[in-house]
Amino acid sequence: AQSVAQPEDQVNVAEGNPLTVKCTYSVSGNPYLFWYVQYPNRGLQFLLKYITGDNLVKGSYGFEAEFNKSQTSFHLKKPSALVSDSALYFCAVRDRGSTLGRLYFGRGTQLTVWP
Amino acid sequence: EAQVTQNPRYLITVTGKKLTVTCSQNMNHEYMSWYRQDPGLGLRQIYYSMNVEVTDKGDVPEGYKVSRKEKRNFPLILESPSPNQTSLYFCASSLSGGPDRPSGNTIYFGEGSWLTVV
């Protein structure tokens, strides 16, 4: 069965420091991988996705993520965190061969960046 | 502007009183879906639709109904709401990647509907 794990409920970093939000997945075959961000009282906003090609994917707001097939991971990174990056981050996976259209989400990681 | 629109955004209702949460998208997307978000559980899929008149159950369909009579609309119906359906609900849509097969297309989400059942 497809599943997504975000091992950290919370990540706290100081502004200007690099940040990493971890994600591992379990799917049959090769997946499509996504990161979404949710600001308070808002819907989910798309950050980036891995479809194929270069394992390092660049997305919105200076975020990037690295697909690691051997470790089945897709960690979200940013070289220098901003206070405005504080939000809830979701990793999601879609089975490449799925006819069911399902996007499986992790439980979310609350990122707090303090000044 | 491309968007997914949900209504109402906030609703407090009583147990057993039927309600409908509407969802509309203006991107001509074939695929639409409903999720609920609960603390510590992430987002769980309720129902999805691959196209007009094609719907199927997600992971947590109990207590919900949907319909897809038009491509742009995908309402979520709670025939007899109960307190355990108190949640934040999201509608989402995306292109379908081929003959009724989803692909890596990005899924777009509405702003969410806060539903409280007392």
Q: Do B56 and A100 touch (CB under 8 A)?
A: yes
Query: What is the 3-class SS of chain B, one letter each residue?
Result: CCCEEEECCEEEECCCCCEEEEEEECCCCCEEEEEEEECCCEEEEEEEEEECCEEEECCCCCCCEECCCCCCECCEEECCCCHHHCEEEEEEEECCCCCCCCCCCCCEECCCEEEEEC
Residue scoring higher pLDDT (B57 or A98): B57
Which residues of chain B have a CB within 8 Å of the CB of A34?
106-107
Q: What mean pLDDT comes out for the span A15-43?
A: 90
Q: How confident is the model at residue B99 (pLDDT cuts 50, 70, 90)?
A: very low
Q: What is the pLDDT of residue B41?
A: 87
Q: Do A99 and B102 touch (CB under 8 A)?
A: yes
Q: What is the pLDDT of residue A96?
A: 66
Q: What is the pLDDT of residue B16?
A: 96
Whether pLDDT at B100 is above 60: no
Whether pLDDT at B97 is above 80: no
Q: Do B40 and A107 touch (CB under 8 A)?
A: yes
Q: How confident is the model at residue A97 (pLDDT cuts 50, 70, 90)?
A: low
Residue B90's φ and ψ, nearest 5 degrees, are: -125, 135
Which residues of chain B have a CB within 8 Å of the CB of A105?
35, 42-44
Residue A84's φ and ψ, nearest 5 degrees, are: -70, -10
Handedness of CA B31, B37, B43, B46 (dihedral sign): negative
Q: pLDDT tens digits, residue range A32-86?
A: 899 999 998 788 898 998 888 889 999 989 999 999 999 999 999 999 999 999 9
Tell me the nearest-neighbour CA distance from A43 into chain B, angstroms: 4
Q: pLDDT tens digits, residue range B7-62?
A: 999 999 999 999 999 999 999 998 899 999 998 888 999 999 988 999 999 889 99
What residues contact residue B63 under an 8 Å CB cut-off, 6+ apart? B78, B79, B80, B81, B82, B85
Residue B32 — left, alpha, or beta (φ > 0 → left; ψ -120 to 50 → alpha)?
beta
Q: What is the pLDDT of residue A54?
A: 87
Q: What mean pLDDT comes out for the span B87-108?
A: 74
Spatial CA neighbour of B82 closest among B63, B66, B65: B63
Which residues of chain A have a CB within 8 Å of the CB of B21?
none
**By CB neighbour count within 10 A (0-12 exposed, 13-18 middle, 19+ buried), where does B36 fall?**
buried
Nearest CA in chain A to B43: A105
Q: Do A42 and B111 touch (CB under 8 A)?
A: yes
Rounded Cα gap, residues A66 and A85, in angstroms: 19
Whether pLDDT at A98 is above 70: no
Whether pLDDT at A100 is above 60: no
